[in-house]
Structures are given as C-alpha cells and as structure tokens.
Amino acid sequence: MTAFAKAERRDGESSGIDPLAVFESFASSSAAYLKPADQGLLRSAYQCAEAAHAGQYRASGEPYITHPIAVAELLTRWHLDAHALSAALLHDVVEDTGISSAELAARFGDKVADLVEGVSKLDKIHFASREQAQAENFRKMLLAMSRDVRVILIKLADRLHNMRTLGAVKPEKARRVSAETLDIYAPIARRLGLATLVDELEDLSFRHLYPDRYRVLDAELHKMRGRRREALQRLSDAVGGRLADYGVEAEVSGREKTLYSIYRKMADKHVSFSQVMDIYGLRVVVRDAPTCYLALGALHSLYKPIHGKFKDYIAIPKANGYQSLHTTLFGPFGNPVEIQIRTQEMHRFAETGVASHWLYRKPESALSDIQLSTTRWLQNLLETQIDSPDAGEFLEQLKVDLFPGEVYVFTPKGRILALPRGATAVDFAYAVHSDIGDRCIAARINDELAPLRTELKNGDRVEIVTAATASPNPRWLSFVVSGKARQHIRHFLRTLKFEESVDLGERLLDQALHAFHHHVGEISARQWQHIAHQLNLGGRDELLVEIGTGKRQALEVARQLLRIDEAAGALTNLGAITVHDREGGAIEYASCCQPVPGDPIIGLIDRGRGLVVHTHDCAAVRRKRRRTDASRWVDVEWDAQMAGLFTVTVRVTAAHKPGVLATLARAIAEAETNISGVSVDEADTGSAYTTVLFTIEVANRVQLASVLRNLRKLPEVVRLARARNSQA
C-alpha cells in the first residue's frame, strides 16, 4: 500500500490529503531502508519543499507538495540513496519558487543541489518556440545525466507521476505531454533498461493520445484473458514438465503484451486484434547462462521452433545491456508462442536496468556493462548536441538515436556494433571512429565491395575502405540515420563553409579595395580591430564571413576601412572574381541554369547563401537584375585549373521505339560521361516521340559539347537542348 493510500485511509471520508501524514508514511515504509542520518536529511528536504510550495495546488486540487513526495516514493523502488530522494522532494523548488541553487547547496550540499539543477527546466529563459525550449531542456538534462545518471531517474519518476495524474489537465495538454513521453522519455527509459517503467509510460501515453482505441483494446484483452487462461496454464505445465525431464530447475511464468505494444503491432503489421497471435508468452528463469541453452534445447524438442524467430541476446546483448534467449514455437493449439529464457540476474536487470546498481548494491568493481554502455551512449549524445546549434536538428538526432530498432553488425576483428535500424555503411564507419567516417570511400560487406549507402542487415561483417584525401560528402546526409554520423558530416560542412566564406569574403573585399587603389594586405591589425568593434563582430574572420555570405557589402566595408565617403570619386572597374569548385562551400552553382566551366558566367551575392554563379543568358538573372541592388552583382570567371564534375540536364526528344533509351545512353557514355539520373516526360505517352531528361556529370563545356555531338548524330534524335529552369 502506498503512502497516499495510507494517508487517505486515515483521513476517512475527507476529500483532503494531509501532506505531513503522507510524508511520514512514506519515510517509515517505502524509505525505511535509509539510515537514521539519511532520514534526517530527507526530513529536512521535505520541510524545505513543503514551505516553498505552501499555497500551491495541482490541477487535481491536491496540495502541490504531494507530487514531489510521490516522485520520491517512486524512486524507492530502486532503493536510491538519500541525496536522490531529497533531490526528488526539492526538484521543483528552483523552477517554481524563489529558492536558488546556491541556497540549496548551502543547506543540503552540492550533491543534492546538482541533482535538482539537472532536473530543473529552463523556463526562465525565453525561447523562440516550444520546440526550441524542449530541445534546450533535453540538452541540459543530458549534460547533467552524463555526470550523474540519477538525474534521469528522478526525471523519469517525475514524468511517470505526471502521466498517472494526467486526467486532471486539459485534453490538449494531455495529448502533447503524452506525445513527448512516447517520443523521448519512454525511449530513454528503454535505453536504460527500465522495462517496467517503459511499459507503464507507453500505456498511459496511449490512453491519453487515443482514448477510444485504448478502451476498445482493453475490453478485448480482458475478454481474451478469460478464454486463454486455461490454455496458458496447460502450456506452462507442459514446458515445466519438459524442463524437469532434462534436469533443468526453472521458474515458468506467463507474460502478457502491453496494450501499447499490441496497438503498435496492429498498426505496423496492418492486422486486426484477433490476428495478433503472440499476446501471451512464457518466461523461463534458470540458474545460469549454460542452463539457458540447455532449456532452449529442451523446449525445441517439445514444440517446433519457427524459422527466423530465434534471437540470442545472451551472446549479443542489446545496446542497453539486456540479455535473454528469445524463441518462438508452434504451440499445442497451432498458435505461435514466444518464450524468453534468462537467468535470475538477467531477469532482474531486464526489469530495472541501470537502476539495478542501487537496488542490488553491487560494489563499483562489479558494475555490469550497462554502466559503461550508458556512459558511451551519453557521450555520443553529448557530442551530437555540442555541434547542433539548431534546436530542431538536435531533437531530430536525439529521436533517431532513441529509436528502439537496432541492427547488429561485426567489425573485421569480430567486435559487435549496435546501429539504428536502416543504418548504412557510412553510419558504421562513424560508429567505428569519426576519422574513419570522414575518410571512407567504399565498403566491403561480407567480403564484397558495396556502395556506402548500402543498408546493413543483422550479422553483416563490414570493412570500410578509406583514402587519406577523402572528405565527407553532403549527399551522405540524404541516407545516414545515426545522430553521430549526421553530426560529424554537418560539422565538417559548417567548418568548410566558414573557411570558404572567409576566403570568398577576402577576395570580394580585395576586389572592392582595388577600386580605391588599395588591396587587402595593406589593412593593418588595428584597422581590422576597429571596424570589427564598430560592427559588433568578433574579429577579422567574422567580418569576412559576413561579406562572403552576402550579409554585408564589400564596397561598404572597404569604404569604412579606408574611411572614404560614399560620394568620393567614381569607382574604377572592380575586376572579376575567380571561382573554384568546392562542394558544400561558400560558392553555389545555380540549379536554374547549371553553369559548367567554359560558360560565360556572372555572380550574385545572395544574403545567407554567399556567391551564387549563373550563366550570362540565364532567364532568372534577367528577372532578378530588375529587382536586386546592382552592387550585389559581380563579374566572375572560371579558374584555369578548374577540377571536378558539374551536373547538367540534357533534354532529348527521340523516336519512341524499342531500344532507344539504350542507344541514347550509349552515345552519352562514349563521351566518357556518367549518367546520374534519367526521367521520361509522361506527357509523351502514346506519341510517336518521347522526351527523355538525362542528368549527366561533365568536367567542362567541351565535354558537354562532345555529348551533344554524339546525340545529334543519332537518326532517332529529333530535338536536343540543355534543360533550363527559369523558376529556380
């Protein structure tokens, strides 16, 4: 019986709850394992919290202090220490009252104050959106959690009690809180191995998100319990008997799927409730790991196993440390039955995960792999959030890393890596080491060469091929799924863009200074410092980035540097900027006209995008010039040593007959040109002619001309042109 139930019983028919009675009951029962000195700390924390929350009430009408007591009581299930229980009692005082963290530290010590600070939200800071506030709260929580995992245990207990009492708030808020719980808190609890907590959080969220579906499934499950109770008992007796025949001592118990897991299976598999065959299963608990495999053999001799439905999480534990054997058998009534086989220690850990350290009081030297695994996972999340300036981006990466589906693959040395479902060879490369990811160019999967975008499957053996000169490709962002891979690729691209923006800004400024018969090398450190201070910037590089990204005009900065009045003399010819191909950098090649080396070109300094290069005859240029400041247009020219491949789209109209696509592709290939995309204009369906759009990669205009010549020679071709998109 909980402290609340006892307090309400004393109160009789009264609708009120006596907070002190609730606390006394909690301290003497649930927290009875604490030492007398620790009980004193707990009592002081209660007195402080009760005074701080005096006059505050929850939406249900109960005194607010009942919530912190309930959170602390939930933590006693894991036998957390007095510091954690005290922090639970005080977890809202910084956020909701006038008490500061410094006051808490002075009164209760740094440990309690740090735990409270880690759990507290950032409500006093203004954020642009609810999403940004949510992301910043998770950043702070994860940082505190990396120092002390008790922070997240308190936060999860806080969320569980809020979910249990969600019926008192408005339905709209209840749905929002439930969605957040399913997206973030339940997956975090799962990642920490807190299975019992996960089940309750998910079912409560399901109840408030989809109340009608919840009621229908709950009623159906209640009916099924009555129908299947006898069958499950017969199955349990048969399993227990076969294990005894093999000399295996075991505890056999029934196991029922939660309502939310049933709902997810129905939604994912597009099946009805009656078609979900594994609602009930059995759990077999034995004395040690070798006996698990002996029990598996005994059960496979009793009922036939279903092919492909066996998982050995003992040899290859889940990322959260979970261990067990899972097998699905054809049961005595023709229905599949999943059986989990594990040791007593594995079972305890499966229920309590990272909290088992406190519950079973293991010495530090005996910490299981879950502690180390959790630390590594947190470090990866922290690496992700450090370089994610955009709150939405960080939250997206966090949700991906919390996604429960996992694929297990092997390194060449036999090490097992757990990756998110859908992970590719690039995700694997970054999981091994960030340097391997940055320099990967190909992969060998099961000893066969494969593209980097290849999706990995359970059991794949992966070896990454690297090159010293290789670097991350922006296209990788379209297929990588792990937060670590996305973070490193984005970091590289941001760094590259910063460096190139500095370079482009310097060239644009030098061009502007030449108009006044100066050059950038003449600008002294004092001049740079003065103008940076004047413009409220950090220094020379920040100013050059602002110019390179189009946020400031080079001519204006040149005048300010030289202290020249805008009306002082006419400008001479500014000259041309030389452009280089740097994918993902500060120079962008317009998609509307797709310029290639050899084309006459012009540049537009676009705010936030940097230098955008167009062809002179681009229709978008003619349109934009009428409404864009003339100072933003600059003459540009190709670097004589231009290298790299440029994308061009060629529109070909040809006779509609068998083999014409192969003929066109052969002509393009003869010019040593790669085809990266093909599409057919559906408007030509049923016509004697068909229009095909080829996206090809060429080094320059000469190679493009060679492609066009080869196509013109074909008798099937009736019309040919470079495709232009004037709307881009």
Taking only the tens place, the pLDDT of each residue in 435-450 is: 999 999 999 999 899 9
In whole angstroms, what is the distance from residue 522 CA to residue 96 CA? 57
Retrieve residue 83's tokens: 């510091």
> Per-residue pLDDT averaged across 147-152, rounded?
81
Residues 157 and 67 in one domain: yes
What is the reported pLDDT for 349?
85
Label residue 557 exposed, middle or buried (CB < 10 Å: 0-12, 13-18, 19+): buried
Reported as half-sphere exposure (CB side, CA atoms, 13 A), residue 723 has a value of: 20
Question: 57: which DSSP letter?
Answer: B
Does residue 427 form part of some domain?
A: no
Using the predicted structure, report yes or no on whether residue 3 has a pLDDT greater than 50.
Answer: no
Does residue 377 form part of some domain?
A: no
Retrieve residue 728's tokens: 């881009």
Which residues are CB-contacts of 206 (< 8 A; sequence separation ≥ 6)?
Answer: 178, 182, 213, 214, 259, 260, 263
What is the reported pLDDT for 252?
94
Lowest-pLDDT choice from 115-129, 401-415, 658-672: 115-129
Tokens 């010819």 map to which residue? 573
Does residue 685 form part of some domain?
A: yes
In whole angstroms, what is the distance from residue 398 CA to residue 482 CA? 9
Domain total in the chain: 4
Catalytic position from the list 8, 81, 96, 681:
96
Question: 553: pLDDT confidence band, cut at 50, 70 and 90?
Answer: confident
In whole angstroms, what is the distance from residue 398 CA to residue 404 CA? 12
Retrieve residue 596's tokens: 């290639």
- Phi then psi dihedrals of residue 698, to 5 deg: -125, 155
Residues 593 and 658 in one domain: no
Contact 124, 137 (CB under 8 A): no
In whole angstroms, what is the distance from residue 575 CA to residue 561 CA? 20
Label residue 165 exposed, middle or buried (CB < 10 Å: 0-12, 13-18, 19+): middle
Reported as half-sphere exposure (CB side, CA atoms, 13 A), residue 38 has a value of: 17
Retrieve residue 344's tokens: 């007593």
Residues 186-239 have pLDDT tens digits of 888 888 888 899 999 999 999 999 999 999 999 988 888 777 777 788 889 999
The CATH code of the domain that includes 699 is 3.30.70.260
Contact 151, 140 (CB under 8 A): no
Report the length, in residues, of the chain. 728
Cα of 163 vs its chain's centroid, Å: 24
In whole angstroms, what is the distance from residue 24 CA to residue 11 CA? 14
What is the reported pLDDT for 97?
74
Tokens 């929850």 map to which residue? 58
The CATH code of the domain that includes 120 is 1.10.3210.10
Residues 599-644 have pLDDT tens digits of 999 988 887 677 888 998 898 888 888 777 777 788 888 888 787 7
Residues 617 and 713 in one domain: no
Retrieve residue 64's tokens: 């607010």
- The H-assigned helical ranges of 521-571 are 525-534, 540-548, 554-562
Which residues are CB-contacts of 685 (< 8 A; sequence separation ≥ 6)?
Answer: none
> Per-residue pLDDT averaged across 387-394, rounded?
56
* Count of Cβ atoms closer than 10 Å to residue 566 Cβ: 7
Candidates 654, 661, 642, 550; CA nearest to 599 is: 642
Residues 154 and 62 in one domain: yes
> Per-residue pLDDT averaged across 482-503, rounded?
83
Question: 651: pLDDT confidence band, cut at 50, 70 and 90?
Answer: very high
Question: 545: pLDDT confidence band, cut at 50, 70 and 90?
Answer: confident
What is the reported pLDDT for 192?
82
SS (H, E, C) 454-476: CECCCCCEEEEEECCCCCCCHHH
What is the reported pLDDT for 350?
86
Range picked from 13-22, 41-50, 407-416, 717-726 for highest mean pLDDT: 41-50
Using the predicted structure, report yes or no on whether residue 128 has a pLDDT greater than 90.
Answer: no
Using the predicted structure, report yes or no on whether residue 283 has a pLDDT greater than 90.
Answer: yes
Residues 77 and 38 in one domain: yes
- The residue from 585, 609, 638 where one domain ends is 638
* Count of Cβ atoms closer than 10 Å to residue 268 Cβ: 8
Using CA atoms, how far residue 319 sits from 190, 191, 359, 515, 681, in Å, is 10, 7, 21, 62, 48
pLDDT: which is higher, 42 or 232: 42
Residues 232 and 268 in one domain: yes
Using the predicted structure, report yes or no on whether residue 272 has a pLDDT greater than 80.
Answer: yes
Catalytic position from the list 38, 95, 256, 455:
95
pLDDT: which is higher, 602 or 416: 602
Using the predicted structure, report yes or no on whether residue 364 has a pLDDT greater than 60.
Answer: no
Which residues are CB-contacts of 342 (< 8 A; sequence separation ≥ 6)?
Answer: 283, 284, 285, 286, 292, 314, 323, 324, 325, 350
Residues 192 and 331 in one domain: no
In whole angstroms, what is the distance from residue 485 CA to residue 546 CA? 28
Residues 166 and 25 in one domain: yes
Cα of 197 vs its chain's centroid, Å: 22
Question: 366: pLDDT confidence band, cut at 50, 70 and 90?
Answer: very low
Label residue 87 exposed, middle or buried (CB < 10 Å: 0-12, 13-18, 19+): buried
Range picked from 210-214, 333-337, 348-352, 541-545 for highest mean pLDDT: 210-214
Does residue 672 form part of some domain?
A: yes
In whole angstroms, what is the distance from residue 68 CA to residue 49 CA? 8
- The residue from 153, 187, 209 where one domain ends is 209
Using CA atoms, how far residue 379 sits from 25, 101, 400, in Å, is 40, 26, 16
Q: What integer best gives the mean pLDDT of the chain?
A: 82
Range of the domain at 80: 3-209
pLDDT: which is higher, 646 or 583: 646
Question: 123: pLDDT confidence band, cut at 50, 70 and 90?
Answer: very low
> Strand 325-330 relative to strand 336-343: parallel, antiparallel, unpaired?
antiparallel
Does residue 323 form part of some domain?
A: yes
Using CA atoms, how far residue 65 sits from 477, 575, 665, in Å, is 47, 73, 74
- Percentage helix, strand, coil, to 5, in the chain? 50, 15, 30
Question: 461: which DSSP letter?
Answer: B
Using the predicted structure, report yes or no on whether residue 6 has a pLDDT greater than 50.
Answer: no
Residues facing 605 on adjacent strands: 611
What is the reported pLDDT for 136?
66
Retrieve residue 347's tokens: 């079972």
Residues 293 and 309 in one domain: yes
Annotated active-site residue 96? The verdict is: yes
Does residue 391 form part of some domain?
A: no
Question: 665: pLDDT confidence band, cut at 50, 70 and 90?
Answer: very high
In whole angstroms, what is the distance from residue 647 CA to residue 269 CA? 41
Residues 18 and 164 in one domain: yes
Does residue 396 form part of some domain?
A: no
Using CA atoms, how far residue 199 sits from 182, 188, 202, in Å, is 11, 12, 5
SS3 231: helix
pLDDT: which is higher, 597 or 572: 597
Does residue 470 form part of some domain?
A: no
Question: 728: pLDDT confidence band, cut at 50, 70 and 90?
Answer: very low
Residues 296 and 348 in one domain: yes
- The residue from 301, 335, 361 where one domain ends is 361
Contact 697, 676 (CB under 8 A): yes
Residues 7 and 144 in one domain: yes
Proportion of the chain above pLDDT 90, given as a percent: 34
Annotated active-site residue 95? The verdict is: yes
SS3 58: coil
What is the reported pLDDT for 232?
83
SS3 280: strand
Question: 44: pLDDT confidence band, cut at 50, 70 and 90?
Answer: very high
The CATH code of the domain that includes 253 is 3.30.460.10
Sheet hosting strand 646-655, strand order edge to edge: 674-680, 689-698, 646-655, 717-722
Residues 83-105 have pLDDT tens digits of 999 999 999 888 777 788 889 99
Using the predicted structure, report yes or no on whether residue 464 has a pLDDT greater than 90.
Answer: yes
pLDDT: which is higher, 370 or 707: 707
